[in-house]
Structure 1
Amino acid sequence: MIVNNLLLKLKNREEDTIRRTQEVLLSMRGKIEVLMDIQVEVNIRPGQSNYDLILITKFESLEALDVYLSHPAHLEVAKFIGSILDTQASVCYKV
C-alpha cells in the first residue's frame, strides 16, 4: 500500500477557510475509484511555521496514485487548493 501525506499551509489561515478547505479535500471521497482512503486533519497547534492541514491518502500502488493525480475530481480540487495555497510539503511511502 502507498500512503501519500500532503501538508498544506494556506494564505488565509482563518478557521473558516481551513474548515472549508478540509471539506473540499474530503469531497473526493467516493469519487475516485483508486482512492482507498482519505483523511484530512486540522492542525490543533497553529503557529507561524506550522502547516494548517494534513491530507492523508492511501492507494494500492504507485500506478493508482498516478491515476488519482490525473483524475478530473482531483484536478478540480487541486485547482481550488492552488488558489488558496501558500506552501506545501509531501511525504509518500510504502507500507
Structure 2
Amino acid sequence: MNRLRGLKIEQELLIKELRLVQEHIERLDTEIIDIVRNCREGQILLSMPPIGVVQAATIIATIGNIANFEKASELKCYFGWAPRRDQTGISFDRTKLTRRGFVP
C-alpha cells in the first residue's frame, strides 16, 4: 500500500513538473517569435517564403549579427551556399553549391 502511495505522489509531481516545462516552452516560443519578427535580420529572413520563425531564429542564433559579414558572399560561404562553376573555354558547363563555400 505504501509503495502505491509513493508512486502516486511521484506521478503527481512529475505531471506538475511537465506542466511547468510546457509553460516555459510556450513562453520561450513567444519570446523567440517576438524577437525574430522585430529584428532586421528576422524580417529579411521571414520575407523568404520557405523560411519560418524557427528557421530564422536558428540562422540568427548561428550568425549573431549580419554585420559580422562584410559581404553577402561571406555569409553564403559560411553556410556553404556559394556556387562553384565548372567552365571550359567560354561557356559554363555546370554550376553547383560547394560543400564548404567559396569567396570569389
Higher RCO by CA contacts (8 Å cutoff, separation 6 or greater): 1
The structure that has the greater radius of gyration is: 2
Structure whose residues are more often strand by fraction: 1
Structure whose residues are more often helix by fraction: 2
